[in-house]
Amino acid sequence: IRRPPRSTLFPYTTLFHLTFSQDNYSTVRDIALLSSYLINNYSQYYKYFKEKDFAWARTGGNPVKQENRNVLLFTDEGVDGIKTGHLKDSKYSIAVTKKKDNRRIIAVISGLPTMSSRAESSKFLLNSAFNKIDLVKIAYDKDKFRIKIWNGSSSYLDVKGANKDGIFINLPKNL
The pLDDT value recorded for residue 114 is 94
The pLDDT value recorded for residue 49 is 85
The pLDDT value recorded for residue 161 is 67
Comparing CA positions, the residue from 115, 17, 31, 19 lying closest to residue 72 is: 115
Comparing CA positions, the residue from 18, 25, 29 lying closest to residue 87 is: 18
Query: In this structure, what DSSP letter does residue 1 have?
Result: -
The pLDDT value recorded for residue 126 is 93
Amino acid, single-letter form, for residue 130: F
The pLDDT value recorded for residue 105 is 92
Q: Rounded distance, CA 91 to CA 114, Å?
A: 8
- The series of mean pLDDT values per 10 residues for the chain, 175 residues long, is 61 56 75 88 86 85 86 87 83 91 90 93 93 82 75 83 73 79
Q: Rounded distance, CA 31 to CA 107, Å?
A: 10
In sequence order, which residues have a C-beta less than 8 Å from that of residue 46 and are 6 or more positions away? Answer: 38, 39, 80, 81
